[in-house]
């Protein structure tokens, strides 16, 4: 295979699964000689360094739509996506030492791209001048979000504080800040703009800014430091909310940034039930809610899985936020994770992901049972499909989801203007489902993140079938059993604090309807693992035999 195609395939794999560059070659099924392998690796790493600039160029010169025949929207099986192929070829044309595409002049992708080379080079020079770089290769560094100039610090305005947004603008004016009407990257030290997806509440500043230190706006809870992606679940949850609708639950609340945002979107009125299981984190939650002036939150140190969905106190709950513990793989420092060799790690990593996925599914299935719920947002700060699309797909296929009429909200209700959507091939090839969910990656200037939203029309009008009734009555027994089960899990929470805690996951022999779904999923995953291990062993054996020859 042409080495551009191999590199593009590996890029596709990385975009979908993350992991190390080295691992991506093998995982994408790319066979190469050692020399070739090194060349492909170098091309992938270099392309990733320049990817934001290359994407910027492709907005100005949209090669894929200009050359649809060469670069189709859907690539054939075993071929790389057109975007990745364009990226690796463009890299060589614009940034490699020879500044040329190393392929036959008759190769159609080369011919198509060369048609635009004059324009591409001119636009690149414009970007270079605008960013004040003396050499084109310096653009690689400035495109990295690890450089403060391109990093954005997000500030959420908190209306619960009683302070006005106009007051915040005034304060910023006093401090010498200039509000821009449009996003700009990199931002100047004294510039800011309103985020285009959460425009009325999220302010974007230069990465090195820290004007809030010792400022009353921060100490009085008028602003909250919160990553953009972490604001999305609350925004999606409260879509089309009107105060008279009912109450809300935040099932996994600490440290509480999403809770306080939901509270603000409820105008600090009505009731928001917040669960937090860990005693220490519960303390943090209550401190945080106090600082954020939340008056409508009823916080309890309790396990959400032990709550009774039929309990009278939750009768009015129509919306549930579910942001459970996850691997935290979305919280990454750009390219660092790509360079590590993770072969040794992969087995325990898979196991850990499986445990997390089972727990996450269990949480969703429990939330789906709440009698009046009609909107449930499930989010993670993970970039692994195992914790994201696959968990959502399993939940949709569950008995409780089917019987209670749950489906996935359409894109129009889930921040439709956000471009990066779900991975279709991780959702049974269903484009509509994939469009309904949101993914964020560090190159979007956010943490890696995932947001999905389950909806149903009229929970009150649904008649509860006999098997579901039985499931409901067994819930309390399940809850009692769970209290005695010890389950290990590592957790990294959404705002960059690492927390390792022991927790109950599952214990053999306690089979409920929920556990059955989880078990099915887990055994399929274990089977896959077994096959992978056997293949690895075979490979090692073959290698050893070769050496002995
Ligand atoms: C990812 S963090 C939530 C972050 C939070 N939503 C925020 O934005 O600030 C997950 C939290 O859920 C809590 N948790 C995990 N399982 C739980 C359960 N079964 N019931 C209640 N809380 C749980 C963990 O202790 C942890 O504090």
49-75 residue pLDDT tens = 888 889 889 988 999 999 999 999 888
Would you state the pLDDT for residue 141?
A: 53
The complex scores an ipTM of: 0.99
Residue 545 lies inside a defined structural domain of this protein: no
Return the higher-pLDDT residue of 507 and 378: 378
Residues 158, 265, single domain; the answer is no
Question: Mind listing the pLDDT tens digit for each residue in 361-405?
Answer: 999 999 999 999 999 999 999 999 999 999 999 999 999 999 999
Residues 293, 157, single domain; the answer is no
CATH number for 206: 3.30.70.1170
pLDDT tops 90 at residue 456: yes
Residue 443 lies inside a defined structural domain of this protein: yes
Using left for φ > 0, alpha for ψ between -120 and 50, and beta otherwise, residue 176 falls in left
Residues 443, 495, single domain; the answer is yes
Q: 324 CA to middle of ligand 1, Å?
A: 5
Would you state the pLDDT for residue 199?
A: 76
What is the span of the domain harbouring residue 111? 3-142
Question: Who contacts 72 (Cβ-Cβ below 8 Å, separation ≥6)?
Answer: 82
* Number of structural domains in the chain: 3
Residues 244, 352, single domain; the answer is yes
Question: Mind listing the pLDDT tens digit for each residue in 39-48?
Answer: 888 888 889 8
- Please, which pLDDT band fits residue 470 given cuts at 50, 70 and 90? very low
Residues 414, 479, single domain; the answer is yes
Among 81, 111, 142, where does a domain finish?
142
Would you state the pLDDT for residue 136?
A: 79
Among 142, 174, 193, where does a domain finish?
142
Mean pLDDT value across residues 284-306: 97
Mean pLDDT value across residues 511-519: 32
Protein residues whose CB sits closer than 6 Å to any atom of ligand 1: 230, 252-258, 275-278, 281, 303-305, 323-325, 493-495
pLDDT tops 90 at residue 503: no
Among 112, 142, 172, where does a domain finish?
142
The residues that bridge with 300 in the sheet, in sequence order, are 275
Residue 549 lies inside a defined structural domain of this protein: no
Residues 404, 507, single domain; the answer is yes
pLDDT tops 60 at residue 343: no
Question: Mind listing the pLDDT tens digit for each residue in 284-294?
Answer: 999 999 999 99
Residue 535 lies inside a defined structural domain of this protein: no
Give CA–CA dist 291/311, Å, rounded: 30
pLDDT tops 60 at residue 84: yes
Closest Cα partner for 412 from 438, 449, 390?
438
Residues 238, 213, single domain; the answer is no
Residue 85 lies inside a defined structural domain of this protein: yes
Closest Cα partner for 109 from 87, 124, 94?
87
Residues 190, 74, single domain; the answer is no
Would you state the pLDDT for residue 347?
A: 60
Closest Cα partner for 251 from 181, 321, 346?
321
Residues 213, 333, single domain; the answer is no
Residue 15 labelled as part of a binding site: no
Q: 487 CA to middle of ligand 1, Å?
A: 16
Q: 281 CA to middle of ligand 1, Å?
A: 8
Residue 112 lies inside a defined structural domain of this protein: yes
Cα-based distances in Å from 520 to 346, 398, 472, 525: 22, 11, 21, 9
Q: 325 CA to middle of ligand 1, Å?
A: 6
Residue 541 lies inside a defined structural domain of this protein: no
CATH number for 278: 3.40.50.150
Residues 19, 40, single domain; the answer is yes
Question: Mind listing the pLDDT tens digit for each residue in 309-319?
Answer: 999 999 999 99
Residue 129 lies inside a defined structural domain of this protein: yes
CB 261 within 8 A of CB 283: no
Residues 138, 181, single domain; the answer is no
Residues 366, 333, single domain; the answer is yes
Residue 102 labelled as part of a binding site: no
The DSSP annotation for 130-163 comes to HTT-SSTTHHHHHT-TTSTTT-EEEEEE-GGGS-
If residue 193 lies in a helix (H) or strand (E), which one and from where to where?
A: strand 191-194
pLDDT tops 90 at residue 408: yes
If residue 377 lies in a helix (H) or strand (E), which one and from where to where?
A: strand 375-380
Q: Which of the residues are catalytic? A: 381
């Amino acid at each position: 295979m042409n080495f551009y195609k191999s590199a593009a395939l590996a890029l596709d794999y990385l975009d979908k699964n993350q992991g190390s560059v080295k691992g991506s070659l093998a995982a994408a099924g790319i066979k190469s000689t050692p020399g070739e392998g090194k060349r492909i690796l170098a091309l992938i790493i270099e392309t990733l360094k320049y990817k934001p600039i290359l994407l910027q160029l492709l907005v100005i010169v949209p090669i894929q739509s200009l050359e649809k025949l060469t670069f189709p929207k859907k690539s054939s099986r075993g071929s790389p996506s057109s975007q990745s192929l364009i990226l690796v070829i463009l890299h060589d044309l614009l940034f490699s030492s020879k500044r040329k595409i190393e392929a036959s002049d008759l190769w159609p992708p080369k011919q198509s791209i060369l048609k635009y080379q004059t324009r591409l080079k001119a636009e690149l020079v414009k970007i270079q001048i605008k960013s004040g770089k003396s050499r084109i290769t310096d653009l690689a560094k400035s495109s990295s979000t690890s450089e403060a100039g391109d990093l954005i610090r997000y500030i959420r305005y908190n209306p619960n504080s009683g302070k006005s947004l106009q007051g915040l603008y005034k304060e910023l004016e006093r401090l010498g800040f200039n509000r821009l009407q449009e996003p700009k990257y990199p931002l100047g030290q004294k510039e800011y703009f309103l985020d285009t997806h959460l425009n009325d509440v999220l302010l974007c500043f230069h990465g090195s800014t820290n004007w809030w230190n010792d400022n009353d706006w921060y100490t009085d809870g008028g602003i909250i430091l919160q990553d953009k992606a972490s604001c999305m679940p609350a925004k999606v949850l409260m879509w089309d909310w009107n105060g008279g609708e009912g109450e809300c639950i935040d099932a996994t609340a600490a440290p509480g940034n999403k809770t306080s945002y939901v509270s603000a979107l409820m105008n600090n009125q009505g009731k928001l039930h917040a669960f937090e299981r860990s005693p220490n984190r519960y303390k943090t939650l209550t401190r945080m809610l106090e600082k954020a002036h939340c008056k409508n939150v009823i916080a309890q140190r309790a396990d959400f899985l032990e709550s009774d969905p039929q309990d009278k106190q939750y009768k009015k709950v129509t919306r549930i936020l579910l942001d459970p513990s996850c691997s935290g793989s979305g919280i990454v420092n750009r390219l660092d994770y790509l360079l590590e060799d993770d072969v040794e790690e992969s087995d325990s990593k898979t196991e850990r992901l499986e445990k997390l996925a089972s727990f996450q599914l269990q949480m969703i299935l429990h939330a789906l049972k709440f009698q009046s719920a009609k909107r449930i947002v499930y989010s993670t700060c993970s970039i692994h499909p195992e914790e994201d699309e696959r968990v959502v797909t399993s939940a949709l296929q569950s008995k409780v989801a089917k019987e209670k009429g749950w489906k996935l909200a359409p894109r129009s209700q889930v921040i439709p203007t956000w471009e990066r959507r779900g991975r279709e091939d991780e959702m049974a090839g269903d484009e509509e489902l994939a469009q309904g969910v949101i993914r964020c990656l560090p190159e979007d200037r956010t943490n890696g993140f995932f947001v999905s939203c389950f909806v149903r029309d009229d929970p009150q009008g649904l008649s509860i079938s006999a098997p579901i009734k039985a499931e409901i009555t067994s819930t309390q027994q399940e809850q009692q059993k769970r209290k005695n089960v010890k389950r290990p899990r590592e957790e990294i929470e959404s705002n960059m604090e690492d927390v390792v805690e022991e927790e109950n996951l599952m214990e053999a022999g306690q089979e409920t309807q929920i556990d059955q779904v989880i078990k099915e999923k887990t055994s399929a995953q274990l089977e896959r693992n077994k096959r992978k291990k056997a293949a690895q062993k075979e490979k090692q054996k073959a290698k050893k035999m070769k050496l002995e020859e």
